[in-house]
């Protein structure tokens, strides 16, 4: 982040929207139109579970995705990372085994490690987690099974993967066999580029809540603004009770001020228009990056083109040292994130993540050319 904000660096490191994309005018209008008493509510402490009007509005938002809001409890959190952290605190005792995908969201790795979990990453392929590898590992660990499996099925961070329906079914069947709970992280599921993928983005919890214990987490960070610091979890009652206690000890309540604004934005329907507009912007930026990669990167560097979200996951040939490439790239004026960051075992030296969400097309072209120059020099 320190490099990302330098004006002379083109950053593909931060997984965040561009500042120029935020709905500032719409939020200004919402705030200015609010009655005084609601503005005052926004400045006050709120209930630990969340601002009551937002809880009701968010239920309707999630219901439209097919999520079982009537059979579960909803808790507003300070970003979805807090939801993941709380669930880690609820489930994990020191030394417990937790299964993630490999690569994995760095925030989840840090959260689970903070509770002294032992992490095992199972490799992803273009359709989702490798079920054969997962089955083999679970068979080995029958005597001491994992506490849960952490999955990001829609536009994975960092891999950009969108699970197929067939892969979801295979994963669910396997987890049912071993009676394992799931933490489902769905921060990017609204950001599909093709309307034909909307059904493919249906959460596990919407499809299989009657078959598995699924703790679903989501966020306003990618569909409204990270500075709102608002996320949520939708979980069974018995987990909710423990999660609420943890939330009380963490921060008592999430920001009431931003909850008031988010409630009005969602309730008015503004969020649907905004997300639709962002899909177009992010697809355009993705297309620009893919075109630049194909023009400026050596053929030995491979990737799977994402169907939504923020990221492209690049694979290097074994002879390249990604850290050396990063150093040269920073000298050239562009920065990315190395794959080791997202490896639960901290060993991956053959991938790096590019984020297109924050960067306008003209800078994308120039930045990718600079990274391409560093890659070509490393291959000489």
pLDDT digits (tens, 9 = 90+) for 194-210: 999 999 999 999 999 99
Model confidence at 164: pLDDT above 80: yes
Query: Whole-angstrom Cα distance, residue 222 to residue 312?
Result: 16
Where do the H-state alpha helices sit in 20-164?
A: 24-33, 36-43, 52-63, 80-91, 106-114, 131-140
- Percentage above 70 pLDDT, the chain: 98
- Tell me: pLDDT of 1 over 70: no
Specify the pLDDT at position 48: 98
Tell me the pLDDT band of 183, cut-offs 50, 70 and 90.
very high
CATH 3.40.50.300 for domain 44-268: no
pLDDT at 2: 66
Phi then psi for residue 13, to 5 deg, are -95, -45
For 233-269, write each residue's pLDDT tens digit.
999 999 999 999 999 999 999 999 999 999 999 999 9
List phi, psi (to 5°) of 61. Answer: -60, -45
Q: What is the pLDDT of residue 331?
A: 94
Residues 6+ apart with CB under 8 A from 187: 80, 152, 157, 217, 218, 219, 221, 222, 231
- Write the pLDDT tens digit of every residue in 208-217: 999 999 999 9
Domain boundaries, the chain: 10-23+272-379, 44-268
pLDDT digit string (tens) for 49-69?
A: 999 999 999 999 999 999 999
Statement: residue 88 has pLDDT above 70 = yes
Packed helices 131-140 and 165-178: angle between N→C axes, nearest 10 degrees: 10
Average pLDDT over residues 22-47: 97
Confidence bin at 353 (pLDDT 50/70/90): very high
4, pLDDT greater than 80: no
Per-residue pLDDT, 7: 72
Q: What is the pLDDT of residues 107-149, one digit of tens each?
A: 999 999 999 999 999 999 999 999 999 999 999 999 999 999 9
Say whether 344 sits in a helix, a strand or coil. Answer: coil
Residue 6 pLDDT more than 80? no
Q: What is the mean pLDDT of the chain?
A: 96
Q: Which residues of 172-210 are buried (b: 16+ CB within 10 A; e: fewer)?
A: bebbeeeebbbbbbbbbbbbbbeeeeeebbbbbbbbbbe
The yes-or-no verdict on residue 3 having pLDDT over 80 is no
Give the pLDDT of residue 45.
Answer: 97
Whether CATH 3.90.1150.10 fits 10-23+272-379: yes
């Amino acid at each position: 982040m320190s490099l990302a904000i330098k004006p002379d660096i083109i950053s593909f490191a931060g997984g965040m929207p561009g500042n120029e994309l935020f709905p500032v005018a719409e939020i200004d209008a919402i705030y200015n139109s609010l009655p005084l008493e609601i503005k005052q509510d926004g400045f006050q402490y709120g209930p630990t579970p969340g601002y009551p009007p937002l809880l009701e509005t968010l239920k309707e938002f999630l219901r439209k995705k097919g999520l079982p809001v009537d059979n579960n409890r909803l808790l507003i959190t300070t970003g979805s990372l807090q939801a993941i952290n709380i669930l880690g605190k609820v489930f994990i005792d020191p030394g417990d085994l937790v299964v993630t995908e490999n690569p994995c969201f760095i925030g989840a790795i840090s959260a689970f490690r903070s509770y002294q979990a032992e992490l095992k990453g199972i490799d992803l392929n273009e359709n989702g987690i490798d079920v054969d590898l997962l089955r083999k590992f679970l068979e080995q660990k029958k005597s001491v099974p994992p506490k849960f499996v952490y999955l990001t099925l829609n536009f994975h961070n960092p891999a950009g993967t969108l699970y197929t329906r067939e892969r979801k079914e295979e994963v669910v069947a396997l987890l049912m066999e071993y009676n394992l709970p799931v933490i489902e992280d769905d921060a990017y599921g609204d950001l599909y580029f093709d309307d034909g993928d909307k059904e493919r983005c249906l959460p596990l919890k919407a499809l299989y809540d009657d078959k598995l214990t699924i703790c679903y987490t989501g966020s306003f960070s990618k569909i409204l603004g990270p500075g709102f610091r608002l996320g949520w979890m939708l979980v069974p009652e018995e987990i909710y009770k423990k999660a609420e206690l943890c939330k009380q000890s963490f921060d008592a309540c999430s920001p009431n001020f931003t909850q008031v604004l988010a409630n009005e934005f969602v309730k008015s329907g503004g969020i649907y228009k905004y997300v639709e507009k962002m899909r177009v912007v992010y697809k355009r930026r993705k297309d620009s990056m893919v075109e630049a990669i194909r023009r400026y990167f050596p053929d030995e560097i491979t990737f799977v083109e994402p169907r939504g979200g923020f990221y492209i996951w690049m694979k290097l040939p074994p002879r390249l040292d990604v850290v050396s490439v990063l150093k040269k790239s920073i000298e050239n004026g562009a920065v990315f994130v190395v794959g080791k960051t997202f490896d639960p075992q901290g060993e991956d030296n053959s991938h790096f993540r590019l984020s297109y969400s924050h960067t306008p097309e003209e800078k994308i072209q120039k930045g990718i050319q600079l990274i391409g120059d560093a890659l070509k020099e490393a291959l000489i």
